[in-house]
A and B are shown apart, each in its own frame.
Chain A
Amino acid sequence: MSFSGARRTALGLLLAAVATFWQAQGLPRWGFDGPGTGIFPQVLSGIAIALSALVLLLERRGPQTLESDDNEAVSRYDLAEPAQRRVFHFYLLALVLLVVGTWWLGFIVTVAAVIITIMRFGEGVSWRATLITAFIVAAVGQFGFGWLLQVSLPEGPVDRALLGLMRAAGML
């Protein structure tokens, strides 16, 4: 059985469904007052296993274009030029930085790191334009969302230092 990307995706869904079914098995199907916690996930994951197995069987083997592929306006990695793929890899790296930065680095550093990765290294925008954009986006985020709209943002050493400075200057 050859495994195209489409089949690997269907297999991934099948494995997710099996894992869910396995987790749901430990839940009670029926309680003293009616249907239990497990009835819904058990039935659904059973159906998901059957459907994803069916998709896996029916999915094409080769890499040829299928009608359904073109229905969603998504750009395809396998058809992209090497330069475009390189940009894509930097976008993926930016997503990793987004997660890591949120955990440890705080909002300002994360935004700067993500923007530099995408604009400078991915898209080849000049350092000057990249840094100006990073500054504006970080400032709009920190002051517009964090301060004006009172939205909670990830905090890191730089964010805390900035807030400390603003408090010391009597701005907060």
Chain B
Amino acid sequence: MENLIGGFATVFQPATLAYCFIGVFLGTVVGILPGLGPLTTIALLLPITYKMDVTSAIIMLSGIYYGVAYGGTVTSVLMRIPGEASSVITCLDGYEMARKGRAGAALGIAAFGSFFAGTVGVIAISYLSPPMSRWVLAFGPAEYTMVMLAGLALVTYFSSGSRLKAVLMAVFGLLLSTVGSDPLTGSARLTFGVFHLLGGIDLVPLAIGLFGISEVLSMALTKREKMKVLAPPSSLLGFMPNREEFRRSVAPVMRGTVMGFLIGLIPGGGAVLATFVSYATERKLSKNPQEFGKGAVEGLAGPEAANNAGTAGAFVPLLCMGVPANAVTALLLGAFMIHGVAPGPTIMERQPEIFWGIVASMYVGNVMLLVLNLPMIGLFVRILDVPRAWLASVILMVCLVGVYSTNSASTDVLLAVMFGVVGYILRRYGYDLGIVILAYVLGGIFERSVRRALAISDGDLAIFVSTPLTIAFAVITAILVVIAFIPRRVIGPRTEKQTALDP
């Protein structure tokens, strides 16, 4: 509790509070804009945080991550356009409620449900992280290796599209992390004679290229259409659900919160999967499943809570183990590394102000989002009117500033553009680029763990299955990799039908 109070003391410093606000505000804006996700935004803003202190930087970037979950709801409810992948499910019943004249109630239920789930999620982080960190402290290099391997396998398993392609992207992400100097001996590897690559490929050009520049290219091919927006309420009272809607939303919010948080803890799980699982659960438990897709309160409340709780849950493996649960938390891990901080079991002892500052900022950020969102929805919706030409120009300028400022090197700009074009092509053919970033960020730690374990065992691979924990993770990894090689049409039709919820 003392530590948490210390965290609040950090957050309530004016500058940190301002960064927290900037983060959640940007997150909301990005959540509203279709196409621009948290990955792109965090990648673009990563270099700007170089001059900031680490706590403020992570607080701002985290604010973007959980702010997106709120922003995505607005366009889902009012326009049936998910601003972000985790808001896809909200389109179904949220938009139908809005069409029936209950747009305010839908947005209100989503906002209060999200606030409740986000707050419970942060409380869970506060209480779960210390014992988990103590447990992780006992891990040796073999345990770390197997945890990371199982994490990567889980991420590829839950990825969109072909799992085989997802595994391939994970391998390429790991390969990219090996370019440059060997982390243990310092000798050069895979530089292809290019002097600039001796220092390795930086996270910023890679992330900005794969997400920022490839997104600009994708935007260029998008048809310009005037989007139809249902009117949001003009007063705060308009956001209040009626008694019946409130009663129907309570239990789904509770269930969504618990499920979302637990799924968020699993690598590859995160907010997107949490919303789908919550929706499927609510429909199964409902006495009127035929109402789902036609404006069922439960179909909105549960997934919205799960979305925010899942986002909070994804912070636990990042902060306690230094293992990101998804691509966005991988970028946050990258931000930690850029600032010379290694998140993991020792962070609470060595740098408690960072850990508890981030946790406290999430409490504050959730309150900010609630206060910010409801009265300003009308204003946020107008962001969608910004023409593509302006948006693309600004994004490219931020890309240039971000990439060049990393090392003051024009070669980095060339690399980012190359990654952008390759990223666009790979996305076009169904390759999940989030996995590349996740594997790239994990690559250095993963390689060190593998080599240390092999050095301890004198090259004996049995060290990776020498304890019950490593055996458990090895079994999980093996099962998931085998599944990756089975074509989706053989094992997937049932799952696809369940997820294709669009009525």
Contacts of B213 in A (CB 8 A): 95
Contacts of A47 in B (CB 8 A): 171
Is B427 at the interface (CB under 8 A from chain A)? yes
Tell whether, in the assembled complex, residue B451 and residue A91 are in contact, meaning their CB atoms are under 8 Å apart.
no
Tell whether, in the assembled complex, residue B410 and residue A37 are in contact, meaning their CB atoms are under 8 Å apart.
no
Mark interface residues in A47-63 (1 if CB within 8 Å of B CB, else 0): 11001101100100000
Give the Cβ gap from A21 to chain B, nearest Cβ, in Å.
10
Complex CA–CA separation, A151 to B49 (angstroms): 10
CB contact under 8 A between A111 and B397, given known A68-B161, A71-B430: yes
Residues of B180-237 contacting chain A, CB below 8 A: 182, 184-185, 187, 189-190, 192, 213-214, 216-223
Tell whether, in the assembled complex, residue B172 and residue A152 are in contact, meaning their CB atoms are under 8 Å apart.
no
Total number of B residues with any Cβ neighbor in A under 8 Å: 76
Tell whether, in the assembled complex, residue A41 and residue B51 are in contact, meaning their CB atoms are under 8 Å apart.
no
Tell whether, in the assembled complex, residue A44 and residue B218 are in contact, meaning their CB atoms are under 8 Å apart.
no
Contacts of B455 in A (CB 8 A): 33-35
Give the Cβ gap from A103 to chain B, nearest Cβ, in Å.
5
Is B98 at the interface (CB under 8 A from chain A)? no
Is B400 at the interface (CB under 8 A from chain A)? yes
Tell whether, in the assembled complex, residue B396 and residue A99 are in contact, meaning their CB atoms are under 8 Å apart.
no
CB contact under 8 A between A27 and B429, given known A98-B417, A99-B414: no
Interface stretch, picked from B241-249, B319-327, B332-340, B385-393, is B385-393
Complex CA–CA separation, A125 to B428 (angstroms): 28
Complex CA–CA separation, A154 to B91 (angstroms): 44
Contacts of B428 in A (CB 8 A): 5, 9, 69, 72, 74, 76-77
Is B377 at the interface (CB under 8 A from chain A)? no
Tell whether, in the assembled complex, residue B190 and residue A51 are in contact, meaning their CB atoms are under 8 Å apart.
no
Is B99 at the interface (CB under 8 A from chain A)? no
Contacts of A16 in B (CB 8 A): 172
* Cross-interface CB contact of A88 among B51, B220, B404, B414, cutoff 8 Å: B220
Tell whether, in the assembled complex, residue B429 and residue A31 are in contact, meaning their CB atoms are under 8 Å apart.
no
Complex CA–CA separation, A98 to B412 (angstroms): 12
* Cross-interface CB contact of B430 among A30, A72, A94, cutoff 8 Å: A72
Is B164 at the interface (CB under 8 A from chain A)? yes
Is B126 at the interface (CB under 8 A from chain A)? no
Contacts of B430 in A (CB 8 A): 6, 66, 68-69, 71-72
Residues of A65-111 contacting chain B, CB below 8 A: 66-69, 71-77, 80-81, 84-85, 87-88, 90-92, 94-96, 98-99, 102-103, 107, 110-111
Contacts of B399 in A (CB 8 A): 98
Contacts of A84 in B (CB 8 A): 220-223
Is A131 at the interface (CB under 8 A from chain B)? no
Complex CA–CA separation, A8 to B389 (angstroms): 31
* Cross-interface CB contact of A34 among B217, B222, B451, cutoff 8 Å: B451
* Cross-interface CB contact of A99 among B185, B413, B454, B496, cutoff 8 Å: B413
Tell whether, in the assembled complex, residue A67 and residue B164 are in contact, meaning their CB atoms are under 8 Å apart.
no
Tell whether, in the assembled complex, residue A72 and residue B405 are in contact, meaning their CB atoms are under 8 Å apart.
no
Tell whether, in the assembled complex, residue B190 and residue A87 are in contact, meaning their CB atoms are under 8 Å apart.
no
Contacts of A81 in B (CB 8 A): 223
Tell whether, in the assembled complex, residue B171 and residue A91 are in contact, meaning their CB atoms are under 8 Å apart.
no
Is B421 at the interface (CB under 8 A from chain A)? yes
Tell whether, in the assembled complex, residue A153 and residue B164 are in contact, meaning their CB atoms are under 8 Å apart.
no
- For the complex of A and B, the 9 pairs showing the least CB-CB separation, nearest first, are A68-B430, A34-B455, A68-B161, A75-B221, A71-B160, A123-B389, A91-B220, A74-B427, A35-B451
Residues of A within 8 A of B (CB): 5-6, 9-10, 12-13, 16-17, 19-20, 23-24, 27, 30-31, 33-41, 44-45, 47-48, 51-52, 54-55, 58, 66-69, 71-77, 80-81, 84-85, 87-88, 90-92, 94-96, 98-99, 102-103, 107, 110-111, 114-115, 118-119, 122-123, 125, 133-134, 137, 140-141, 145, 149-154
